Structure 1
Amino acid sequence: MNVNIKRAAVLCGAAALGIGLMGAPAHADPPTGEFRQLVVVGSDTTQDVTNGIASVVADPDFTPDDQLIASYDALGGDTIQTRPSGCVIDRPNGSSAGIEALLNDIDAGTGCIDFGRSSRGPRVAGDDLTFVPVALDAVSPAVRGDSPMNGHNFTLAELQGIYQCQITEVEGVTVTPLIPQDGSGTRDFWSDTVGIDPDNPPSCVSDVNGEGDQVQEHDGRALTRASDIAPYSIAQYIAQTNSAETGVVDRRGDALLQTVNGTEPVVGGEMNASFPINRDVYNVFQTSRLGEPDIDRVFTGADAELCDDSSAAVEQRALFGFAASPNCGEVLLTGNE
C-alpha cells in the first residue's frame, strides 16, 4: 500500500524560514504529524545512517525538497504513528523486531510499514521477503578503557571460546561476555560469529549488565565492569565519535574497540574494510513490491540512488561510518523471516 501525503504545512514553514528540507538531516523520528511515502523501522545499527539518507532522498511526486522516507528509531517511546489515520504501532527495537513488524503488517494488509532495517540476513528460507544490501559494516569486541583487556589482540577463536564459556579469563580478568537485547540483528550476527544460539545463549553470556539493565546494542554505557566485553558496530562507533557532525547521540561511554587477528577496527577515522568480522546490512522489502518505481529507483540495482557513488545518499553512508558493499542493490537474498 502506497500513501502519498503532501506535507504542505512543513514545506511552507521551511520556505518561510528560508531553508530547504534537503541538507537538514533528521536524526530521529519525523516530527509529530509529519508523514511520508515510505515507512521504515527496525535496526538500531542502521537507524542513524537511514535517518541521514532520508534527509537527502526526495519524493519526485511532490517538490524536490519533499522527503520520501520516514525512518523511525529503535528507541524513543513505546509507540509510533506512521500514517495520518490509524497505524499506531509498538516501536520495533532491532532488526528482528522490525522484520516481525513488517511481516505482521503484510499479513494484516494495513500498509503501516513499507520496509525494515536489518543488520542480519534471513533466518528462514523462502521468497516472501528480499534482503537488499545497502552498505558494509564490521563488528568489533569492545571493552572498557580501564579494563586490563584493553589493548589485547583478540583472535576469532578466542572470542568463540569466551562466548562458549570455554575461556573464562583474559589478561588476568574473569571475563563477562555480554550480547545485545533480544530482537537485535547484531545479537544474531555475533551469535553466529562466535557459535552460540542467540535464543538460548550459554550460561556465562547475558543481555543484562552488572547493574541489572538490558544491554542495548552499540551502547558502550552498558559496559559497567572491567570484565565486560560486548560486540559493537564499527560504523555506529564512528558515527557516535563524530556526533557533532552526524547528530548521533554519543553512547560510547568508556567502551573502546579492540583488534581482532591483529587487524585494527578503525584506520584514519574510517572503518577498516579488512576487519575480519564484517557483514552487509540490509533494507528488507516484501518481494512482490520490488518493482514499485520509488523502491526500484532508490534501493535496487547497481544504479540505485543508495548505490550511486555520486549521490548525496552515498555521502551520508560514508559520513555515518559505513563502507561500500560490493553487493549493494542486489535482489538475490530472500527469506521468510
Structure 2
Amino acid sequence: MNKKKFIAAGAALGLAATLMATVPAANAEPVANGPVIVGSDTLQDVMNALTNGTNVTGSPVRSTAGSSAVASFDATGSVTIQTKSGGAHFGRPNGSGDGVKALSRSIDGQPYTSATPGSPANVNIAGQVDVARSSSGATVNANGALLYVPFGRDALSYAHSGGSNAAFDNIDQATLKGIFECTVTQVGGVTVTPVIPQAGSGTRKDFLAKIGATESSMLEVSEGGCVVVGQEHDTNSIAGGAAFPANAVTPMSAAQWVAQNTGAGVDRRGSGVKIGSPLAGVSPVSGTGTAMVPNAAYYSNSTWGRDTYVIVENARVTAGDAKYDAKLAELVSNATSKLGNTASVLPSQAGSVKKKFGFLAPSTTTPFRANLG
C-alpha cells in the first residue's frame, strides 16, 4: 500500500471543523449511517468519546467520516447487535480477536459466530463492520487484506484486590506465570485467585504471552484448574455477575486504569482494588484520582508496553483501488480530529483526547498489513 496516499487522502478531507456543528450526535449503539466499529474493550471508552464527540480536553473533538456519524459498539451489552439498517442481527464482538474476526467476515462473507455466550451461529455479516478496535498487533504480511493503523501506546499490568497486603503490589513475571498456571497458590500468606478476561480478549492473549503462559497451560475452573473467567478491565464483577473475589489478580490495561480513575472512562473498579506492577520500582501510572497519568517509563518497557490499533480493509483506504472509500480513509487518517491522529499538543487533536484516556503516542505511526483473522 502507498501510505503517503492514505495519509494525504485523509488529511485532505479531515479538517472540516464545521462537522462538529452539523453532524447529529451519535448514540452509544445506533444503527449506523456511517462506519461501524467493534472489538476491544481496551479502546472502547476512548473510541466512544471520539466518535460521539467529547470536550474532555477543553475543546470539542469528534471523529467523523465525512458527513456521516460513526457507530462504535461496546464490547459488552446485549447478546446480539444490528449495526446497519436492514442488516443481520449477529453476536456482539467482545474483545480484539472477536472484533478482527467480525471485520474479516464482513469482508470475505464467510459465516460469523461471536464468542459471546448465546450468540447465533454462522451468520452472514457481509458489509456490516468497517473498523475493528485491537489492543494487540498481528503478523505482518505485505499483501494482507487488513491494515493496522497505530492508535496509541498502552501498557499491560495487573490489578488486585489484595488490600493492604503489600505482597500483591509487586508480583514479578515468574510469579504471575505460576499464579495463572495454578502452581503458585499464595501471595503474602493468603490464597490468591487468578482472574482471566473472556475468550477473544486481546488483553488475555497479550498477558499470557508476556508472563510466558499459554491457553493450554492456563486451566480455567471449568477445565479442572484454578483460573476464574471475568470481563477484561472489570474489577467489580466476574463472568456471570458474581462479585470480584478477594485476593484476586487480573490483567489490567494501564490506560483503562487511568481513564477509570480520572473519570474519563466508565468506572468498573471494585472497592479497594489497586493496580500492581511486575517491574520493581516502576509503577504503570503516577498520581491519584483525577490527577492520575500514564508513567512513560513503564509504557516504554519492551515487555509490558504495547501499541494498540484501529483496523480496516486495506483496499478501502488505498486511493485508486476500486473499493476505495474516501470517508473511511478520512476517519482513520492522521488528520487533527481523526482516529489515526497521535499528536497531543493542542486540545483540538484526537491525540490529546487519547492522552486523557491514558494512551501515549505509539512506538510507530506507520500502518502495516496483515491477513484476515
Q: TM-score range by the shorter chain?
A: 0.7 to 0.9
- Asked whether the 8 Å contact 1:179–1:206 carries over to 2, the reply is no
**How many equivalent pairs are there?**
305
Note the C-alpha offset of 1:313.
1.7
Q: What CA distance in whole angstroms lies between the structure 1 residues aligned with 2:205 and 2:249?
A: 16
Q: What CA distance in whole angstroms lies between the structure 2 residues aligned with 1:214 and 1:94?
A: 14
Note the C-alpha offset of 1:151.
5.1
Structure 1 partner of 2:315? 288
Provide, for residues 31-50 of structure 1, a one-character-per-residue CA deviation record: whole Å limited to 9, x for no partner.
Answer: xxx52311110111111111
Note the C-alpha offset of 1:155.
2.0
1:279 and 2:306 correspond:
yes
Structure 2 partner of 1:307? 342
What residue ranges of structure 1 are gaps of 5+ in the alignment?
Answer: 1-18
What residue ranges of structure 2 are gaps of 5+ in the alignment?
Answer: 1-19, 54-60, 110-124, 319-324
- Equivalent position amino acid for 1:256 in 2: K
Note the C-alpha offset of 1:173.
2.0
Provide, for residues 228-274 of structure 1, a one-character-per-residue CA deviation record: whole Å limited to 9, x for no partner.
Answer: 1111111111211223xx35243444321012222112113111122
Q: What does 1:1-337 correspond to in 2, within 5 Å?
A: 20=21, 28-30=28-30, 34-54=31-51, 55=53, 56-59=61-64, 61-62=66-67, 67=69, 69-108=70-109, 110-122=126-138, 127-146=144-163, 148=165, 152-198=169-215, 200-203=216-219, 214-221=229-236, 222=238, 224-243=244-263, 246=264, 248-262=266-280, 263-268=282-287, 269-275=292-298, 276=301, 277-291=304-318, 292-300=325-333, 305=338, 306-309=341-344, 310=346, 311-328=348-365, 330-337=366-373
Cα pair distance change 1:149/1:220, threshold 3 Å: farther
Q: What is the DSSP-based 3-state SS (H/G/I as helix, E as strand, rest coil) of the residue aligned with 2:160?
A: strand
Q: What CA distance in whole angstroms lies between the structure 2 residues aligned with 1:325 and 1:229?
A: 27
- Asked whether the 8 Å contact 1:25–1:51 carries over to 2, the reply is no
Q: What CA distance in whole angstroms lies between the structure 2 residues aligned with 1:300 and 1:75?
A: 27
Provide, for residues 144-163 of structure 1, a one-character-per-residue CA deviation record: whole Å limited to 9, x for no partner.
Answer: 15263565322223323333
Q: What CA distance in whole angstroms lies between the structure 2 residues aligned with 1:196 and 1:189?
A: 10
TM-score (norm 2): 0.72
The CA RMSD measured in Å over matched residues stands at: 3.2
- Asked whether the 8 Å contact 2:154–2:360 carries over to 1, the reply is yes
- Asked whether the 8 Å contact 1:177–1:206 carries over to 2, the reply is no
**What percentage of aligned pairs have identical amino acids?**
34
Q: What CA distance in whole angstroms lies between the structure 1 residues aligned with 2:204 and 2:187?
A: 22
- Asked whether the 8 Å contact 1:134–1:280 carries over to 2, the reply is yes
